Amino acid sequence: MEKEFLQIIQKNQGIIHKVCNIYCDVEEDRNDLFQEIVAQLWKSYPSFRNDSKFSTWMYRVALNTAITSFKKNKRRPDQSSLSYDNFQLADEKYDTETEENIKQLHKAVGQLTGVEKSIVLLYLENKKYEEIAEITGITQNYVRVKMNRIKKKLKKFMVTEE
């Protein structure tokens, strides 16, 4: 069972990395969350019943773990440290406008709640509303409503930044 689990994790580790990247800004935190998600997946693996695709189940466990971790970290004071990225000089060939837009969007997404982040992540992964509903455990209709609200919220955050 352990060998089978490790093969599946190896094959689908991109899902975990995406979840970690959306919930953590610092590499150290991403690594910690990655380990925490793999541990939860291993703990939950015996209960996987093949009722849905493995990737759907994996997203659900990963997002629930990330949201729980996100809530715990919200209660702690800010412990972020300066990273190398803060000191990098811009490359002349680099498209600074695109990079700035990406940074603003990332910052705006960072202001969303844990559940909203998970919906945005899945939406950006081109998941259909039906699959987002299955992964998050909310109705498809509510996913649509929530996504519309999130889009408005992101626009508001983006305008505020300018």
The pLDDT score that the predictor gives to residue 88 is 47
Question: How many Å apart are CA 132 and CA 123, to the nearest integer?
Answer: 8
The pLDDT score that the predictor gives to residue 159 is 81
The pLDDT score that the predictor gives to residue 101 is 78
CATH at 103: 1.10.10
Calculate ∠ Cα 70-46-42, nearest 5°: 40
Question: How many Å apart are CA 87 and CA 102, to the nearest integer?
Answer: 18
Q: What is the DSSP string of 36-48?
A: HHHHHHHHHGGG-
Question: How many Å apart are CA 146 and CA 39, to the nearest integer?
Answer: 30
Instruction: Please report whether residue 116 resides in a domain.
Output: yes
Whole-angstrom CA distances from 74 to 23, 116, 146 are 11, 15, 22
What's the predicted TM-score (pTM) here? 0.62
Per-residue pLDDT tens, the chain, 162 aa: give them: 889 889 988 998 999 999 998 888 889 999 999 999 999 999 999 888 888 888 889 999 999 999 888 777 665 555 555 454 544 444 445 567 777 777 888 888 888 888 899 999 899 889 999 999 998 899 999 999 999 999 999 988 888 766
Whether 52 contacts 61, CB under 8 Å: no
Instruction: Please report whether residue 85 resides in a domain.
Output: no
Helix pair angle (140-161, 96-110), 10° resolution? 120
Domain range enclosing 108: 95-162
Amino acid at the residue 110 = G
Q: What values do phi and psi take at 139, rounded to 5?
A: -70, 155
CATH at 3: 1.10.1740.10
Whether 2 contacts 44, CB under 8 Å: no
Question: How many Å apart are CA 125 and CA 22, to the nearest integer?
Answer: 12
Q: How many domains does the chain have?
A: 2
Q: Are 4 and 53 in the same domain?
A: yes
Whether 23 contacts 117, CB under 8 Å: yes
Instruction: Please report whether residue 83 resides in a domain.
Output: no
